[in-house]
Chains A and B, each alone.
Chain A
Amino acid sequence: MSNSTVSRRHFLKIVGVATGGLCISIALPGNVLAEKGIIEDSSTELNAFIHLDENGDTTIYCGRCEMGQGISTALPSAVADEMEADWQRVTVKQGDADEKFGPQATGGSASIRKMYLPMRKAGATAKLMLIAAAAKVWKTSPDNCYAQSHFVINKLNQQKLGFGELASIAKNMPIPDTVTLKKKSEFNYIGKELARHDQNEVVVGKRTYGVDTKMPGLKYAAMIHCPVLGGSIKSVDKTLALKMKGVTDVIEIPRFDVPFGSIGGVAVVADNTWTAQQAVEKLKVEWDLGENVVYNTKEYKQQLVANVEKPATLAKERGNVHRALKKSKHKHKATYTGGHLSHSPMEPNASVVWVQKDSCEVWASTQSPVDIQKVLGQYLKREPTDIVVHVAMAGGAFGRKFKCDYVHEAAVISEKTGVPIQLIWSREEDMRTGYYHSINAQHIEASMDEQGNVTGWLHRAAFPSIPSLFDPSLVRAPKGALSAISNHLFGVQSIRVESGDAKAHTRIGWYRAVNAIFYGFAFSTFADELAYKAGKDPLTFVNQLFDNNNKKKQKKDIKRIKAVLALVAEKSNWHNRENLPEGQGIGLAVHYSFKSFVAMAVHVEVKNDDIKVLNVDCAIDCGQILNIDGATAQMEGAVVMGMSLALTTEITFRDGAVVNSNFHDYPVMRIADMPNVRVHITDSDKSPTGLGEPGVAPFAPALSNAVFAASGKRYRDLPFKPMAV
């Protein structure tokens, strides 16, 4: 990995830089070299990601979207590291929607996996061009020069030239065909604990998010959506709303049946958000609710359970599971369920859009500026690239802001009013008319031989799937959505995967960790149950399951997953758990998702039926770490999100509409329940993979296993303690 070389063409291709590539921007002429007549050009650019000012101030652009996961620190720090830039001289800016930044849609924990090498190469390329510039000035060979801390230094005489002085010469240097990347031992920032580039702004209230966009002439909108997916407006009585002082318009927004388009509703435009929100309350809207009015999650979940407890549609089979189950004397079966979840980031959906006759400009908290261009392009019948999207910092997203229905709505309102519109969804609309993590049921039956080797594994899953967003006629999750089951790293002699019927009645959307939430829960909980059935120590049993995996291509993964499991067992004092006080227990779980390995050991105390999580040890192997602090923060956050979904949060539908409305009946975890979280990071040289999502999956099963160890009570339904709504 280190010292690798890349061809220039390959670099440009993967970075997505337009031809010509390097561009350094220099604001003003007049630096030392210009005065000496050495440079003639005053305006330059290094490449799409790097702008260097004549005084050395460096701007590094982040093309991937920031929502709190720390990507706008991690990736630019990799650029700075290879460039030998001084981080103190670097300002990070979020890139607007532009193909020159490469793929910008931010999800699937893919940013680091996809952009780590291109970013390093961008930095290394800039460094070589700066060195070449200095060599030209000194009339020496580049071999005699090296870069360090924002300077190029002449090895022969220790002369120094600053990056700023060199910028405009560097621009005219040929783009190197190959770059040599630094060795791990040479890293300045990669793998260290660099603070987030913007935390100083956060603590003084100066960090701005999509919701904070202001501009002259801005009007404010609030809206109500059809409470049932697929419904439409029958009639709107606007009289009372329009009578309110400060209300300028009431606008009907029809359903726009493209992925990520509005589900339809009515918006009020006013002089401020408060007035708009108040006026929405005064609207009298009659809806034609449509066919999804039949949706009741309580009954639907029971139906999913029924659908997985009987034969379902075959997705994949290896060996003969039915024969194995028939032959074995040691069998176990269990059914697991989970409810819908709302992302509920602290910043509700918000954007500003200004549609004019020949332009459309967007300022939005988003995970996917490209989808904004696509949807608005479709709606306005303009070229996607004509839609200018300024990517704002998102105040949390967790998958919600990948979908741009709220931006589309602001565009409709702006198109009809001709002014820039800021649309902010209320918390209630955010919770009631969003996209949801899928409700789900799984049933597993397994057989074992006398030694506790698993001979057959029958796994049925039923859940309305994300592909239903794009094909609403789907009646069950397609095979591809179940491939994580047959690809699981457990070694079983035969496996059969079936997909149970589950038609979608609401919009299913990526939610942090996505299907890994319920797959991780079922696999690690069921393995724990099997261990007790086999009379074995759960850790020994799970290791045996991994050891029985004979697939050659998974050998390396087996080694890594066992290592993180061993690490949390050691750190949590698992091996001495018999010394824990009465009512306490430790549970283990490990899951591989999004190319990363995460294990958790959860230590609980159970009194009567109260569960108190005391400690959580997390071990991660995501290859080379970019930022230790960022990785640690992602794990702490994953525990909190995992704990909310394991214990309390669930979205309930009745007669097609969401019943929950705000944080009083969607009880996300609060500070008093925070356990002591310890994060253990595997030192690795392997290619880095992401951590935004993989930490969420192992928490709930580790908790279920811990509660069982402490109390003998087994929880198989997420959340364990749903609030009655």
Chain B
Amino acid sequence: MKQSIIINGTKHEINVDSDMPLLWFLRDELEFTGTKFGCGKGLCGACTVHVNGQAIRSCITPVSTLVDKQITTIEGLSENGDHALQRAWLNNKVPQCGYCQAGQIMNAASLLAVNPAPTIEEIEASMQGNICRCGTYQRITKAISEAADTLSKEA
């Protein structure tokens, strides 16, 4: 029987070389292009997705290690694109080119899931692996703080 992987709630058969990183399975096989290729070495964070709720770098994670795991990509972070982080991103007009932002948001979502009220230092430490060449860092920090506040009020 073929092995499978669950992406944004839907089961997908793994019909590729088991070494293929999740990034390329998502992008080239399933055509979920929201997850981006940046460095291929886990150095920039553009490819960040969740495995069982936790942020990982999909460019260095072979699909074979993810059998039956729950994967969440930016396309599946929220049903209507209204996760508190997505709202805060819009409110703070974070994106410039926007290419790294899916990875930034997914990484931030993973942080807030374990630390709902991070300090600025904790946000920076957690987001240190995500590069933005356009330089949106100031707004990213602000948006994460704002989303954390929103979530605490909504809780």
Contact = CB atoms under 8 A, between A and B. Distances in A.
Nearest to B83: A203
A724 interface: no
B97 A395 contact: yes
Given A196-B95, A204-B81, A427-B41, A273 B27 contact: yes
B124 A199 contact: no
A302 B138 CA distance: 37
Nearest to B75: A205
Contact of B75 (A204, A348, A640, A671): A204
A676 interface: yes
Given A214-B33, A672-B125, A274 B135 contact: no
Interface residues of A, number: 65
B38 to A, nearest CB: 5
Interface in A653-688: 662-664, 668-672, 674, 676-677
A435 interface: no
Contacts of A214: 31, 33
Contacts of B43: 662-664
A603 B97 CA distance: 28
A638 B44 contact: no
B95 A199 contact: yes
Given A68-B96, A273-B27, A273-B28, A637 B136 contact: yes
Nearest to B32: A205
A618 interface: no
Given A275-B17, A427-B38, A637-B96, A344 B133 contact: yes
B14 to A, nearest CB: 13
Contacts of A104: none
A212 interface: yes
Interface residues of B, number: 60
A348 B37 contact: yes
Contacts of A348: 37-38
A672 B94 CA distance: 17
Contact of A203 (B17, B86, B128): B86
Contact of B138 (A211, A636, A670): A636
A444 interface: no
A202 B41 contact: no
Contacts of B17: 245-246, 274-275
B100 interface: yes
B134 A220 contact: no
A629 interface: yes
Interface in B64-98: 73-75, 77, 81, 86, 89-90, 93-98
Contacts of B19: 278
Contact of A671 (B31, B33, B99, B140): B140
B133 A204 contact: no
Nearest to A395: B99
B101 interface: yes
A272 B28 contact: yes
A663 B43 CA distance: 6
B39 A427 contact: yes
Contacts of A633: 93, 96, 134, 136, 139
B81 A203 contact: yes
Interface in B44-67: 44, 46
Interface in B98-127: 98-102, 105, 123-125, 127
B105 A345 contact: no
B141 A674 contact: yes
A241 to B, nearest CB: 15
A203 B95 contact: yes
B15 to A, nearest CB: 11
Nearest to A670: B128
A521 interface: no
Nearest to A220: B28
A592 B78 CA distance: 45
A394 interface: yes
A200 interface: yes
A193 B138 CA distance: 18
Contacts of B99: 68, 209, 345-347, 395-396
Contacts of B140: 671
A398 interface: yes
A664 B44 CA distance: 9
A395 B24 contact: no
A200 B38 CA distance: 22
Given A199-B90, A671-B124, A395 B98 contact: yes
Nearest to B39: A427
B95 A638 contact: no
Contact of A272 (B20, B100, B132): B20
Interface in A619-646: 629, 633, 636-641
B131 A204 contact: no
B141 A671 contact: yes
B33 A212 contact: yes
Contact of A637 (B33, B41, B131, B135): B135
Contacts of B127: 671
Interface string A216-249: 0000100000000000000000000000011000
Given A245-B17, A346-B36, A396 B133 contact: yes
Nearest to A398: B133
Contact of B131 (A198, A393, A663): A663
A559 interface: no
B17 to A, nearest CB: 7
Interface string A392-424: 011111100000000000000000000000001
B33 A640 contact: no
Contact of A641 (B36, B128, B135, B138): B135
Most A CB contacts (10 A, CB to CB) among B35, B123, B135, B137 go to B135
A420 B132 CA distance: 31
B124 A663 contact: no
B74 A69 contact: no
Given A275-B17, A427-B41, A663-B43, A202 B131 contact: no
Contact of A640 (B32, B97, B101, B137): B137
A638 B127 CA distance: 20
Contact of B24 (A209, A272, A346): A272
B133 A195 contact: no
A199 B19 CA distance: 34
Interface in A573-611: none
Contact of A636 (B31, B75, B128, B135): B135
Contacts of A672: 124-125, 128
Interface string A261-277: 00000000001111101
Given A272-B28, A272-B29, A670-B130, 5 more contacts: A199-B94, A212-B27, A346-B100, A396-B99, A671-B140
For the complex of A and B, 9 pairs with smallest distance between CB atoms: A205-B34, A68-B97, A640-B135, A395-B99, A205-B74, A637-B135, A202-B98, A274-B24, A272-B28
7 contacts: A202-B98, A204-B81, A274-B24, A636-B136, A639-B135, A641-B133, A671-B132
Interface of B: 16-17, 19-21, 24, 27-29, 31-41, 43-44, 46, 73-75, 77, 81, 86, 89-90, 93-102, 105, 123-125, 127-141
Interface of A: 67-70, 193, 195-196, 198-200, 202-209, 211-212, 214, 220, 245-246, 271-275, 277-278, 344-348, 393-398, 424, 426-428, 629, 633, 636-641, 662-664, 668-672, 674, 676-677
